[in-house]
């Protein structure tokens, strides 16, 4: 079974009287364990597509299936449940809840899932160590650098045990060293845990990591090809 | 506790303290509101309590026993026998604390200059004192009160003595009817004058010993009424029925609420007024509460969107904000109730209001106000605050739950 299937997905935005095309008949099939980058210039529809796949936004045409579930047939609560159990999100910035510590942020989704305190804590600490933040568990987001905050977000996205991680410009606010570090981490998690990654980016360095590169333009998929991954150099 | 609820409990508490200043201002406002609710209720309760107590002093007692026709025609013809058997033993044991058997007849009282109609009470001073219906020592302005049931002196209100142009040591003639409608009269010496809070009371009642009056009226040891008290007028309904069955069908037993419906109404009005007062105060506070919560939601749109994206259901978001509001309400309630308790307890010994005493006396009050802290008022105000507070918080919380996650996350 495919991890994600998009069939002729359309999304149009209304801005005043103007109609803006977000997605124009996008069809895409993603297999479990893929490491896929969505690329394309700003405004090409990457975010809109990720939001639609992540059940945050409802397309006005076409059909999306995630893990075998057709999103169009689910209620608001069921969509929330799907996001909670199966999808991990990493946004461009402001990923964390400011009043919670790094550990509590990582535990957040697991706690909503209803995991026991001991289990949560063990997983959270393991994940924070995996993203290189051992020792910073008690810090609040304001006491962490941008790169560290993104890594907490990655730890949270993976800790809840999702099948699919959606990352929207995860390196946009990071320096090249932090970017390389984060992408290495994605690649490692993908390899070790078999989690499917879909990463929207217009950073060529990030695209290099992908085994499959999907190019978008004006809301359409204009290229979809396999490639040999290439890591960024750490300077 | 479900996962989402446990997360909410911690998050709501921390969110509450994100803006210390705003939270503390709201906390202070609601606490003062709660304090005012309870304090005002205590004052009003103290006032009505005193009005009822004063009313029961002249009634007197919380329960009275009469011959069936007496209440329609309070004449000597409708006398009753001295209590005996079941009634007597009921009167002599708890919860009854004091009782008095009294003769109460309309009479004419005349000095050498003037005459007046009064209600003449033939009493046993000891039991009247126990009942609280005899003038207190400091209410005797001249002379003394009666010394026993056989005392054949008469004690008049100071105002009545003035009207009759008589005084201590002088003789007056009292005139009434015996059961056979014969005029019964005799002279009595004025042995004491009493003052009452209301001049009407001074002019209406005159006291003499029970036995001389029984002899004058030729009724043997019959009496007009038995008045009984168990101390607290609020609990009359608990023991009155036992007295009804003890008295049997030949006698009529009535509680103070039946004897003086006005007093009972006053209590109900007081309760209703307290509740209205509480609701009005809190309705004003709710505006502040709604505003505070709406600001909090506005400032946190992004992270609310984030929590939704992470899989928190709209219902859980709603709960999160209601919980934050509930924390604020509960803290305010603790502070407000504590402040009320601390300020009212020392005042329960009485607040001197002699400056405005004239007006108070007109309302049937003394010059000292005794605020009464009632658990029911604290409970009521808590219920009002929690109920209305959560209700007021529903709107901003519901708005937060309805936020569109995509738009919320994109807002910076
Ligand atoms: N909420 C919105 N309202 C109006 N237009 C929008 C909205 N979201 C996206 N768009 C438009 O849809 C198109 C695709 O946007 P987006 O998916 O954000 O592109 P990308 O992420 O590739 O930069 C753009 O033209 C953008 O202006
Ligand atoms: Mg984008």
Residue-wise pLDDT for A20-34, tens only, equals: 999 999 999 999 999
Give mean pLDDT, residues A86-98.
91
Q: How many CB atoms lie within 10 A of CB B407?
A: 12
Q: Which residues of B113-142 are buried (b: 16+ CB within 10 A; e: fewer)?
A: eebbebebbbbbbebbbebbbbbeeebbeb
Mean pLDDT of chain A: 92
**Length of chain B, in residues:** 412
Which bound ligand lies closest to the C-alpha atom of A216? 1
Residue B412's pLDDT band (boundaries 50, 70, 90)? low
Strands A35-39 and A196-200, by their bridges, are parallel
Give mean pLDDT, residues A102-111.
95
What is the reported pLDDT for B201? 85
Q: How many CB atoms lie within 10 A of CB B163?
A: 17
- Taking the C-alpha atoms of residue B392 and residue B385, their distance in angstroms, rounded to an integer, is 10
Residue A235's pLDDT band (boundaries 50, 70, 90)? low
CATH of domain A4-226: 3.40.50.300
Give mean pLDDT, residues A97-126.
94
DSSP 8-class letter at B80: B
The reported pTM is 0.79
Output the six-digit token pair for B358. Answer: 């004239």
- Taking the C-alpha atoms of residue B239 and residue B244, their distance in angstroms, rounded to an integer, is 9
Helices vs. strands in chain A: H and E counts, helices first: 7, 10
**Do residues B66 and B251 make contact, with C-beta atoms less than 8 angstroms apart?**
yes
CA distances from B204 to B107, B127, B196, B223, B396 (A): 10, 21, 11, 20, 63
Strands B205-209 and B115-123, by their bridges, are parallel
Residue A200 backbone dihedrals phi, psi, to 5 degrees: -90, 130
What H or E segment, with its residue span, contains residue B409?
Answer: helix B405-410
- Among B1-5, B148-152, B163-167, the range scoring the smallest mean pLDDT is B1-5
With a cut of 90, say whether residue B134 has pLDDT above it.
no
Residue B119's pLDDT band (boundaries 50, 70, 90)? very high
Residue B93 backbone dihedrals phi, psi, to 5 degrees: -130, 160
What is the reported pLDDT for A208? 92
Strands B225-229 and B63-66, by their bridges, are antiparallel
What is the reported pLDDT for B281? 87
DSSP 8-class letter at B223: B
- Conformation bin of residue B220: beta by default, left when phi > 0, alpha when psi is -120 to 50: left
Give mean pLDDT, residues A169-195.
87
With a cut of 90, say whether residue B58 has pLDDT above it.
no
For residue B409, list chain A residues with Cβ-Cβ distance below 8 A. 56, 91, 94
Compute chain B's Rg from CA coordinates. 31
Give the minimum alpha-carbon distance from B272 to chain A in angstroms, rounded to a whole number: 44
Q: Do A100 and B14 touch (CB under 8 A)?
A: yes
Q: Which residues of B261-287 are buried (b: 16+ CB within 10 A; e: fewer)?
A: eebbebbeebbeebbebbbebbeebbe
Tokens 């609020």 belong to B234
Tokens 């005392």 belong to B151
Which residues are paired to B228 by β-bridges?
Answer: B63, B99
Give mean pLDDT, residues B181-196.
90
Packed helices A102-113 and B3-16: angle between N→C axes, nearest 10 degrees: 140
Residue A203 backbone dihedrals phi, psi, to 5 degrees: -95, 115
Give the three-class secondary structure for B287. helix
Which residues are paired to B157 by β-bridges?
Answer: B194
**Do residues B120 and B174 make contact, with C-beta atoms less than 8 angstroms apart?**
yes
Give the three-class secondary structure for A18. strand
Best probe residue, ligand 1, of A16, A26, A48 (max atoms within 8 Å of C-beta): A48
Cα angle value A123/A129/A131 (rounded, 5°): 105
Q: Where are the domains of chain A?
A: 4-226
DSSP-H helix ranges across chain A: 46-53, 76-86, 102-113, 117-130, 146-159, 176-193, 204-207
Q: How many CB atoms lie within 10 A of CB A222?
A: 11
What is the reported pLDDT for B168? 87
Give mean pLDDT, residues B123-137.
88
* pLDDT tens sequence across B303-318: 999 999 999 999 999 9
Beta-carbon contacts of B288 under 8 Å, excluding residues fewer than 6 positions away, are: B26, B29, B30
What is the reported pLDDT for B367? 65
Mean pLDDT of chain B: 87
- Among B274-278, B290-294, B339-343, the range scoring the smallest mean pLDDT is B274-278
With a cut of 60, say whether residue B362 has pLDDT above it.
no
**Do residues B254 and B237 make contact, with C-beta atoms less than 8 angstroms apart?**
no
Output the six-digit token pair for B266. Answer: 């006053």
- Taking the C-alpha atoms of residue B393 and residue B320, their distance in angstroms, rounded to an integer, is 11
Which bound ligand lies closest to the C-alpha atom of A93? 2
- Taking the C-alpha atoms of residue B307 and residue B193, their distance in angstroms, rounded to an integer, is 81
Which residues are paired to B184 by β-bridges?
Answer: B176
With a cut of 90, say whether residue B220 has pLDDT above it.
no
For residue B321, list chain A residues with Cβ-Cβ distance below 8 A. none
Give mean pLDDT, residues B322-331.
94
CB of A44 within 6 A of ligand 1: the answer is: yes
- Taking the C-alpha atoms of residue B4 and residue A108, their distance in angstroms, rounded to an integer, is 9
- What percentage of residues in chain B have a pLDDT greater than 90? 36
Give mean pLDDT, residues B36-57.
85
Q: Give the sign of the dihedral formed by CA B192, CA B193, CA B196, CA B199.
A: positive
Tokens 């309870």 belong to B38
Output the six-digit token pair for A24. Answer: 């124009």
Output the six-digit token pair for A23. Answer: 């997605």
B6 Cβ under 8 Å from any chain A Cβ: yes
Output the six-digit token pair for B176. Answer: 């009434």
Q: What is the DSSP string of B151-193?
A: ---EEEEHHHHHHHT--TT-EEEEEEE-TTS-EEEEEEEEEEE
Give mean pLDDT, residues A90-98.
89
ipTM, two decimals: 0.92
With a cut of 80, say whether residue B346 has pLDDT above it.
yes
Compute chain A's Rg from CA coordinates. 17
What is the reported pLDDT for B361? 55
Report the separation in Å between the CA atom of B4 and the middle of ligand 2, taken as the mean of its atom positions: 30
DSSP 8-class letter at A170: T
Give the minimum alpha-carbon distance from B313 to chain A in angstroms, rounded to a whole number: 6
B interface test, pick of A111, A118, A166 with most B CB neighbours within 10 Å: A111
A interface test, pick of B11, B311, B318 with most A CB neighbours within 10 Å: B311
Dihedral angle, C-alpha A187, A189, A190, A191, nearest 10 °: 90
**Do residues B297 and B399 make contact, with C-beta atoms less than 8 angstroms apart?**
yes
What is the reported pLDDT for B411? 72
């Amino acid at each position: 079974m495919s991890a994600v299937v998009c069939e002729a997905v359309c999304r149009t935005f209304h801005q005043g009287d103007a109609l803006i095309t977000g997605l124009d008949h996008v069809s895409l099939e993603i297999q479990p364990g893929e490491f896929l980058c969505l690329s394309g210039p700003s405004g090409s529809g990457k975010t809109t597509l990720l939001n639609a796949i992540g059940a945050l936004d409802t397309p006005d045409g076409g059909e999306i299936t995630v893990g075998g579930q057709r999103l169009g047939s689910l209620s608001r609560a069921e969509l929330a449940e799907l996001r909670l159990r199966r999808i991990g999100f990493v946004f461009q910035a402001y990923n964390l809840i400011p009043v919670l510590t790094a550990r509590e942020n990582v535990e957040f989704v697991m706690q909503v899932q209803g995991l026991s305190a001991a289990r949560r804590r063990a997983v959270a600490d393991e994940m924070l160590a995996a993203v290189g933040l051992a020792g910073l568990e008690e810090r609040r987001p304001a006491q962490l650098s941008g790169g560290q905050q993104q890594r907490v977000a990655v730890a949270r996205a993976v800790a809840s045990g999702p099948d699919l991680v959606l990352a929207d410009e995860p390196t946009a606010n990071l320096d090249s060293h932090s970017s390389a570090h984060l992408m290495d981490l994605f690649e490692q998690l993908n390899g070790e845990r078999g989690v499917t990654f879909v990463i929207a980016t217009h950073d060529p360095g990030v695209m290099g990591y992908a085994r499959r590169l999907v190019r978008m333009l004006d809301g359409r998929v204009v290229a979809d090809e396999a490639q040999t991954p290439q890591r960024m150099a750490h300077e | 506790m479900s996962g989402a609820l446990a997360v909410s409990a911690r998050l709501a508490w921390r969110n509450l303290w994100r803006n210390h200043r705003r939270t503390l201002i709201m906390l202070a406002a609601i606490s003062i509101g709660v304090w005012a609710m309870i304090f005002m209720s205590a004052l009003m309760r103290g006032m009505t309590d005193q009005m009822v107590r004063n009313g029961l002093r002249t009634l007197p007692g919380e329960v009275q026993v009469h011959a069936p026709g007496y209440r329609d025609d309070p004449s000597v013809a409708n006398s009753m026998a001295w209590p005996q058997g079941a009634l007597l033993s009921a009167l002599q044991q708890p919860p009854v604390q004091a009782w008095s058997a009294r003769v109460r007849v309309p009479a004419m009282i005349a000095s050498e200059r003037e005459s007046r109609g009064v209600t003449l009470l033939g009493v046993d001073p000891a039991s009247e004192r126990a009942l609280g219906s005899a003038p207190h020592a400091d209410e005797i302005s001249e002379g003394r009160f009666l010394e026993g049931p056989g005392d054949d002196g008469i004690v008049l209100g100071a105002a009545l003595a003035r009207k009759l142009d008589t005084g201590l040591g002088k003789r007056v003639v009292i005139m009434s009817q015996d059961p056979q409608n014969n005029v019964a009269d005799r002279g009595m010496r004025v042995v004491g004058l009493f003052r009452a809070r209301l001049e009407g009371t001074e002019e209406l009642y005159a006291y003499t010993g029970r036995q001389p009056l029984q002899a004058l009226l030729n009724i043997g040891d019959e009496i007009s009424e038995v008045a009984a008290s168990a101390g607290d007028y609020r609990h009359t309904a608990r023991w009155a029925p036992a007295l009804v069955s003890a008295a049997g069908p030949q006698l009529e037993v009535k509680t103070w609420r039946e004897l003086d419906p006005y007093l009972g109404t006053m209590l109900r009005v007081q309760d209703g007024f307290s509740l209205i007062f509480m609701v009005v105060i809190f309705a004003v506070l709710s505006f502040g509460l709604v505003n505070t919560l709406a600001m909090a939601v506005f400032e946190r749109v992004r992270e609310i969107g984030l929590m939704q994206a992470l899989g928190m259901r709209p219902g859980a978001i709603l709960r999160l904000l209601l919980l934050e509001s509930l924390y604020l309400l509960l803290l305010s309630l603790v502070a407000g109730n504590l402040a009320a308790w601390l300020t009212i307890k020392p005042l329960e010994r009485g607040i001197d209001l002699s400056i405005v005493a004239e007006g108070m006396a007109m309302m049937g009050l003394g010059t000292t106000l005794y605020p009464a802290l009632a658990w029911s008022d604290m409970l009521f105000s808590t219920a009002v605050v929690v109920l209305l507070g959560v209700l007021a918080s529903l709107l901003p919380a519901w708005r937060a739950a309805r936020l569109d996650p995509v738009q919320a996350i994109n807002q910076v």
